[in-house]
Amino acid sequence: MTSWPTCCNRPLSRSRADRGSAVVDFVLLAPLVLILVCTIVQAGIWVVVMAEAHRVADTAARAGAVATNPERVATTRARSASPQDSSVSVAREESDLVVRISVPMKVMLWRTTITGTATGRMGLEPR
């Protein structure tokens, strides 16, 4: 006669009431884990996009600060390197050239758009 393996004097097989509990746990936790993973991926993409926008804004401000026509040079440099749906504004504030790039980004799971703004500031060369 074959007997079931035992642990601590009880059989290792599950009782009839416990058979579906793993499926229920999976069904309850899988959507939450999926949302968490998608949110982490989306945040990573957002960080990369904003880092690139800051780099472009800084580079455009630096290029415009030494040019004879700073606004035109900075605007051209920022528009050529930034994403197509972003908006670029260049302004003089006191003795600085300020380049602002606004980047809209759609969120994966929701129908919303988040806009981040990167600012590059560089002191203008005296003439």
**pLDDT tens digit sequence for 78-93:** 888 887 788 888 888 8
| Structural domain contains residue 117 | yes
- Domain presence at residue 72: yes
58 within domain boundaries: yes
pLDDT at site 70: 86
Q: In this structure, are residues 81 and 96 in contact, taking their beta carbons and an 8 Å threshold? A: no
For residue 24, the tally of other CB atoms under 10 A from its CB is 9
What is the total count of domains within the chain?
A: 1
Tell the residue number behind the tokens 């957002």, with chain if given.
46
Mean pLDDT of 102-124: 77
Question: pTM to 2 decimals?
Answer: 0.71
- H-type helices in the chain, by residue range? 21-65, 70-81
Q: Which domain holds residue 43?
A: 23-123
In this structure, is residue 68 part of a structural domain?
yes
Is 36 a member of any domain? yes
pLDDT tens sequence across 102-111: 888 887 766 6
Residue 15, domain member (yes or no) = no
- Tell me whether residue 57 is exposed, middle or buried, using C-beta atoms within 10 angstroms of its C-beta: 0 to 12, 13 to 18, 19 or more: buried
**Domain membership flag for residue 12:** no
Identify whether the C-beta of residue 104 lies closer than 8 Å to the C-beta of residue 88. no
